[in-house]
Protein backbone atom coordinates (compact mmCIF):
# COMPACT_ATOMS: atom_id res chain seq x y z
CA UNK A 1 0.00 0.00 0.00
CA UNK A 2 1.35 3.42 -0.95
CA UNK A 3 1.76 6.08 1.70
CA UNK A 4 1.57 9.85 1.52
CA UNK A 5 2.92 11.01 4.89
CA UNK A 6 2.71 14.76 5.48
CA UNK A 7 4.28 16.70 8.31
CA UNK A 8 1.69 18.11 10.76
CA UNK A 9 3.40 19.10 14.00
CA UNK A 10 6.58 19.10 16.06
CA UNK A 11 6.99 18.75 19.80
CA UNK A 12 10.07 20.74 20.75
CA UNK A 13 9.92 19.38 24.30
CA UNK A 14 9.81 15.71 23.24
CA UNK A 15 11.87 16.30 20.06
CA UNK A 16 9.32 14.40 17.96
CA UNK A 17 7.93 15.15 14.48
CA UNK A 18 4.35 14.04 13.71
CA UNK A 19 3.11 12.96 10.27
CA UNK A 20 -0.28 11.87 8.85
CA UNK A 21 -0.66 9.39 5.99
CA UNK A 22 -3.21 10.95 3.63
CA UNK A 23 -3.54 7.73 1.63
CA UNK A 24 -4.76 5.78 4.68
CA UNK A 25 -7.47 8.23 5.83
CA UNK A 26 -11.04 6.93 5.96
CA UNK A 27 -13.95 9.03 7.25
CA UNK A 28 -17.14 7.46 8.52
CA UNK A 29 -19.52 10.07 9.93
CA UNK A 30 -17.75 11.89 12.75
CA UNK A 31 -14.92 9.33 12.92
CA UNK A 32 -11.67 9.43 10.92
CA UNK A 33 -9.27 6.47 10.86
CA UNK A 34 -5.76 7.39 9.75
CA UNK A 35 -2.15 6.24 9.83
CA UNK A 36 0.37 8.33 11.74
CA UNK A 37 4.15 8.28 11.91
CA UNK A 38 6.18 9.77 14.72
CA UNK A 39 9.89 10.45 14.24
CA UNK A 40 12.15 11.04 17.23
CA UNK A 41 15.24 13.25 16.94
CA UNK A 42 17.07 11.06 19.45
CA UNK A 43 16.29 7.46 20.41
CA UNK A 44 14.38 6.44 23.52
CA UNK A 45 16.36 4.45 26.11
CA UNK A 46 14.93 1.24 24.53
CA UNK A 47 16.22 2.29 21.08
CA UNK A 48 12.93 3.43 19.50
CA UNK A 49 13.40 6.06 16.76
CA UNK A 50 10.04 5.92 14.97
CA UNK A 51 6.45 4.83 15.49
CA UNK A 52 3.79 3.61 13.08
CA UNK A 53 0.34 4.15 14.58
CA UNK A 54 -3.18 3.52 13.31
CA UNK A 55 -5.52 5.93 15.10
CA UNK A 56 -9.18 6.81 15.11
CA UNK A 57 -10.24 10.43 15.74
CA UNK A 58 -13.70 11.48 16.92
CA UNK A 59 -14.23 14.88 15.30
CA UNK A 60 -17.29 15.70 17.46
CA UNK A 61 -16.22 14.52 20.91
CA UNK A 62 -12.57 15.78 20.76
CA UNK A 63 -10.93 12.46 21.45
CA UNK A 64 -8.88 9.77 19.77
CA UNK A 65 -7.71 6.22 20.32
CA UNK A 66 -4.78 4.26 18.99
CA UNK A 67 -5.77 1.00 17.34
CA UNK A 68 -2.33 -0.40 16.55
CA UNK A 69 1.23 0.70 17.34
CA UNK A 70 4.57 -0.55 16.03
CA UNK A 71 7.93 0.87 17.12
CA UNK A 72 11.11 0.78 15.05
CA UNK A 73 14.84 1.10 15.67
CA UNK A 74 15.42 3.39 12.68
CA UNK A 75 13.75 6.54 11.33
CA UNK A 76 11.05 6.15 8.69
CA UNK A 77 9.60 3.02 10.31
CA UNK A 78 12.58 0.97 9.19
CA UNK A 79 14.95 -1.39 10.89
CA UNK A 80 14.18 -3.82 13.64
CA UNK A 81 10.60 -3.82 14.96
CA UNK A 82 11.07 -3.27 18.69
CA UNK A 83 7.44 -3.80 19.68
CA UNK A 84 4.00 -3.97 18.09
CA UNK A 85 0.42 -4.57 19.10
CA UNK A 86 -2.95 -3.13 19.95
CA UNK A 87 -2.95 -0.77 22.95
CA UNK A 88 -5.30 -1.72 25.76
CA UNK A 89 -6.20 1.87 26.62
CA UNK A 90 -9.45 3.35 25.36
CA UNK A 91 -10.21 6.75 23.90
CA UNK A 92 -8.16 9.71 25.13
CA UNK A 93 -9.42 13.27 25.47
CA UNK A 94 -7.63 15.92 23.42
CA UNK A 95 -5.82 18.34 25.76
CA UNK A 96 -6.11 21.99 24.69
CA UNK A 97 -3.06 23.62 23.12
CA UNK A 98 -1.23 20.33 22.64
CA UNK A 99 0.29 18.42 19.74
CA UNK A 100 -2.66 16.03 20.08
CA UNK A 101 -4.97 18.98 19.44
CA UNK A 102 -2.95 20.02 16.37
CA UNK A 103 -3.24 16.48 15.01
CA UNK A 104 -6.98 16.29 15.79
CA UNK A 105 -7.68 19.63 14.09
CA UNK A 106 -5.66 18.64 11.04
CA UNK A 107 -7.31 15.23 10.65
CA UNK A 108 -10.85 16.51 11.18
CA UNK A 109 -10.39 19.43 8.78
CA UNK A 110 -8.60 17.49 6.00
CA UNK A 111 -10.79 14.40 5.79
pLDDT at res. 109: 97
Say which CATH number the domain at 33 has: 2.40.128.710
Q: Are 84 and 70 in contact (CB under 8 A)?
A: yes
Range of the domain at 91: 5-110
Query: pLDDT tens, 24-39?
Result: 999 999 999 999 999 9
Cα gap 44→42, rounded to integer Å: 7
Burial of residue 48 (number of CB atoms within 10 Å: 0-12, 13-18, 19+) = middle
Angle at 99 between CA 64 and CA 10, to 5 degrees: 135
Total structural domains within the chain: 1
Q: Give the β-pairing of 78-85 and 63-74.
A: antiparallel
pLDDT at res. 105: 98
Supply the pTM of this predicted model.
Answer: 0.93
Query: pLDDT tens, 49-101?
Result: 999 999 999 999 999 999 999 999 999 999 999 999 999 889 999 999 999 99
Amino acid sequence: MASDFRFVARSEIEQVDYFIDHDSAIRSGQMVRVGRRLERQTPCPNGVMSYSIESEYDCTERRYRDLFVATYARPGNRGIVIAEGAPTSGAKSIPPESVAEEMWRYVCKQF
